[in-house]
Homo-oligomer: A and B are copies of this chain.
Amino acid sequence: MEWFIEKYNGLALMIQIKKRLVKKESKFQKIEIYNTTDFGKMLVLDGKIQLTERDEAFYHEMLVHVPMFSHKNPKKILVIGGGDGASVREVIKHNPDEIFLVEIDRDVIELSKKYLKVDKGALDDKRTKIIIEDGYNFLKETKEKFDVIIVDGTDPNRYSERIIKHEFYRICNKKCEIFATQSQSPFQQKDYFISMIKEIKKSFDFFKPYIGFVPSYPSGLWSYIIAKYVELDLEVLKKRFNERDVKTCYYKPELHVACFELPRWLEELSKSSYQLR
């Protein structure tokens, strides 16, 4: 049996693979899809695990439902990145009118639809508008405004680095009511997390990091940042959760509140990050 290995400094994760299904050099990155023994199908971009069937919902539900349930009536949504369609799948559970998916790499969408199917049809939903473009360019040019903007970005690379800078966040701030992004592992990718906190602090008056478990990501400890507004009233969240009748495997209203209680070291890391400007 072979093993896929992803290293990040002195820590590495190995996932046993049965078979490689896809290997393609797209215009932007190396795309691989594997069948694994324990994690179902797995998408890898430039050597970094993007999702596995077994735990992708842990990630996508926390990325999407925390901002979506923080909004009282989210009807027009922008997802940047996330060409696999799993974030759009979670957004659709809130019954929005329109979802814009802006993904730079058409091949990620096509190969995900063909091999992964984690979108569960969401990419073909009539409310989903797929735009193949750089997220920064799209947002700068568009006249649209959104209830919620969600950034489902990859690990930092020369394409994604434009969507982790304050110039980008400043435009997001103008064009949405609630903003959320993934922000890597504060344990194993501390510098990247600190840099995102600083950039977001420059652009939003209010923001708050939160965390969740994603075993197939570095260290298993993953972070997200919500900005502009967050709803933390448990009774309001429970009511919305029931009214929208959203089915989940990880998210629940109680966890929506609990995920903002960071371990002390991480709370201090976040604070010291945004105090340094």
Contacts and interface: CB of A to CB of B under 8 A. Distances in A.
Interface residues of A, number: 42
A13 interface: yes
Contacts of A10: 15-16, 36-39
Interface string A220-250: 1100000000000000000000000000111
Contact of A252 (B215, B220, B252, B264): B264
A213 B219 CA distance: 9
A21 interface: no
Contacts of A188: 215
Contacts of A37: 9-10
A11 interface: yes
Nearest to A37: B10
Interface stretch (A71-79, A115-123, A145-153, A255-263): A255-263
- Which of A11, A36, A38 has most B Cβ within 10 Å? A11
A13 B14 CA distance: 6
Contacts of A265: 249-250
A11 B5 contact: no
Contacts of A55: 187
Nearest to A220: B220
A243 to B, nearest CB: 18
4 A-B pairs closest in CB distance:
A220-B220, A10-B38, A10-B16, A10-B37
Interface of A: 3, 5, 7, 9-16, 36-39, 55, 58, 187-188, 211-213, 215, 219-221, 248-252, 254-255, 257-259, 261-265, 267
